């Protein structure tokens, strides 16, 4: 064995040309110098030979500044993630964000940057699609080699900015209509911390605010490759369920307690401690009436999620020999005049009743599809409303006190944070940590609710809470 190793070493040594070593060393030195120049330009506004670079800002480029006053890090942050200075919001400059297309707030789409369009943006203030950048963005006086150095530094931010950071719990929050998500985040950051008395620190939450789902997925993939995400903690996915199904996060990345009304397809994400979504709730309502020989599924044609759920349920019912009809209106005279009574399930938000058709004996629906005024009107016409909830909406210890979705997710999130094992120090320990999380006992909220890590295997979800609206007892 030693002889073979010596032979391999001798052959390798004999094959090396000293000039090759010199060339490789020179190239490595040039790369290091380029990266260092890029870092100084980005962080300090210092160019080649330590000169202060000049730049112009304002309408027409009338204000001249130099050096540190126009350093990129002032607005975009030392790690390139973006931020703001004064009233200006600066975008993410890491290359995975710059190099990909993105959608602007006004709905327009700009293509990804390359070296040439980056140079035009930095020197002339023109975006990749030819649109002028904000006057607050400096127009820099950069030589070609300085521009190459900035380009190299931005690409390096993808790899090196947080390479040594330990894995974190990541919270996804949308930038638009974010008030409910922000309130949840504030609640989780201010949870009671019983673990602190035992000397154990609760895991910190790192936040990623995103404007569009493809941007979030790109960011997640980059962080996952770097081993910087232990799990997504209660990602706020209301109204993003379909987007997630079309562009799922990395397969190995678990979603702990996702905040979603529609629910998530199992193939779209690895979900632990997930509340049953609307499809599971609909199945529970169907399972409650095993002798129903006919179901009518109401779905609004403008509601794509409801249409998809109706297709799934119709196939399941047909497979069990149960007649099923999908209807776009609860008030079609032909539907109302059917001599054979049918169980009616509303997969879209419940509309108010009209006065020109016969009423139904009962309506079943997921609770999120109930409009209070419409429900009152149905009740006044003698219709029984049967609701499915993702959790018991009233605590046994306080039967007159209703628990809203915001309270439920906040309480469950605090309970989960209190029981998570300590986060690993590096990416190599992530698989073992995730196995520990998957094996945690159910989250138990005293006198109220239990939520297991994994959903039951049965198609009808036993966690769904069924009750009449408004005040019949749960069972």
Q: Is residue 13 part of a domain?
A: no
Q: Is residue 460 part of a domain?
A: no
∠ CA 457-248-172, nearest 5°, is: 100
Are 127 and 182 within one domain?
no
Are 135 and 219 within one domain?
no
Domain that holds residue 49: 31-160
Q: Is the pTM of this model over 0.75?
A: no
Are 293 and 308 within one domain?
yes
Total domain count for the chain? Answer: 3
Residues whose CB is less than 8 angstroms from the CB of residue 72 and which lie 6 or more positions away in sequence, other chains included: 41, 42, 43, 93, 150
Last residue of a domain, one of 160, 181, 207: 160
pLDDT tens, per residue, the chain with 475 residues: 333 333 222 323 333 344 443 554 565 677 778 888 988 888 888 988 888 998 888 877 678 888 888 888 888 877 777 765 545 667 888 776 787 777 666 667 778 888 888 889 999 989 888 888 888 889 999 999 999 888 888 887 765 445 456 888 999 988 777 889 989 988 898 888 665 545 567 787 888 888 788 878 888 888 888 888 999 999 999 988 888 888 888 888 999 999 998 888 777 788 999 999 999 999 999 999 988 888 999 999 998 889 999 999 999 999 999 999 998 988 766 655 555 567 899 999 988 887 655 557 789 999 999 988 989 988 888 888 999 999 998 876 666 678 888 999 999 999 999 999 999 988 899 999 999 999 999 999 877 888 999 877 655 577 899 999 876 444 3
* CA pair distance 432, 428, nearest whole angstrom: 9
Q: Is residue 60 part of a domain?
A: yes
Is residue 455 a contact partner of residue 276, using CB atoms and an 8 Å limit?
yes
- List the CATH number of the domain containing 59: 1.10.760.10
Q: Is residue 468 part of a domain?
A: no
How confident is the model over 173-203, as pLDDT tens digits? Answer: 887 778 899 899 888 988 886 655 455 677 8
* CA pair distance 171, 187, nearest whole angstrom: 13
Helix (H) or strand (E) holding 323, with range, is strand 323-327
Q: Is residue 367 part of a domain?
A: yes
| 3-class secondary structure, 333 | helix
């Amino acid at each position: 064995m030693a002889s073979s190793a010596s032979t391999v070493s001798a052959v390798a040594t004999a094959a090396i040309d000293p000039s090759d070593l010199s060339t490789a060393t020179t190239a490595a030195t040039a790369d290091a110098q380029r990266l260092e120049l890029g870092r100084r330009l980005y962080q300090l506004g210092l160019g080649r030979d330590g000169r202060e670079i000049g730049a112009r800002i304002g309408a027409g480029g009338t204000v001249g500044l130099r050096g540190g006053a126009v350093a990129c890090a002032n607005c975009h942050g030392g790690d390139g993630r973006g931020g703001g200075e004064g009233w200006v919001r600066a975008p993410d400059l890491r290359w995975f964000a710059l190099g990909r297309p993105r959608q602007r707030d006004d709905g327009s789409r700009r293509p990804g940057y390359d070296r040439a369009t980056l140079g035009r943006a930095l020197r002339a203030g023109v975006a990749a699609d030819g649109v002028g950048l904000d006057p607050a963005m400096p127009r820099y006086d950069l030589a070609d080699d300085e521009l190459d150095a900035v380009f190299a530094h931005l690409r390096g931010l993808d790899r090196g900015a947080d390479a040594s950071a330990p894995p974190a719990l990541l919270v996804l929050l949308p930038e638009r209509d974010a008030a409910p998500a922000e309130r949840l985040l504030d609640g989780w950051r201010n949870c009671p911390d019983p673990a602190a008395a035992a000397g154990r620190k609760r895991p910190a939450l790192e936040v990623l605010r995103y404007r569009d789902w493809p941007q979030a997925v790109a960011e997640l993939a980059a962080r996952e490759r770097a081993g910087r995400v232990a799990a997504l903690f209660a990602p706020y996915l209301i109204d993003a369920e379909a987007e997630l199904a079309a562009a799922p996060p990395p397969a190995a990345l678990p979603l702990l307690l996702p905040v979603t009304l529609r629910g998530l397809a199992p193939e779209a994400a690895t979900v632990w401690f997930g509340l049953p979504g609307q499809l599971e709730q609909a199945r529970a309502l169907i399972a409650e009436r095993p002798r129903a020989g006919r179901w009518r599924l109401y779905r609004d044609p403008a509601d794509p999620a409801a249409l998809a759920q109706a297709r799934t349920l119709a196939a399941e019912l047909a497979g069990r020999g149960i007649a099923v009809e999908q209807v776009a209106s609860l008030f079609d005279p032909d539907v109302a005049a059917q001599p054979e009574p049918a169980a009616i399930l509303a997969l879209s938000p419940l509309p108010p009743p009209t006065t020109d058709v016969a009423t139904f004996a009962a309506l079943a629906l997921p609770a999120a599809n109930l409009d209070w005024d419409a429900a009152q009107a149905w009740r006044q016409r003698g219709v029984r409303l049967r609701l499915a909830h993702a959790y018991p909406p009233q605590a046994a210890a306080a039967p007159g006190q209703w628990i809203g979705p915001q309270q439920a997710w906040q309480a469950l999130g605090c309970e989960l944070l209190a029981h998570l094992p300590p986060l690993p120090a590096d990416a190599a320990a992530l698989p073992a940590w995730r196995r520990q999380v998957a094996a945690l006992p159910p989250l138990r909220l005293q006198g109220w609710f239990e939520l297991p890590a994994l959903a039951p295997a049965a198609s009808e979800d036993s966690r769904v809470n069924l009750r009449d609206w408004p005040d019949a007892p749960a069972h």
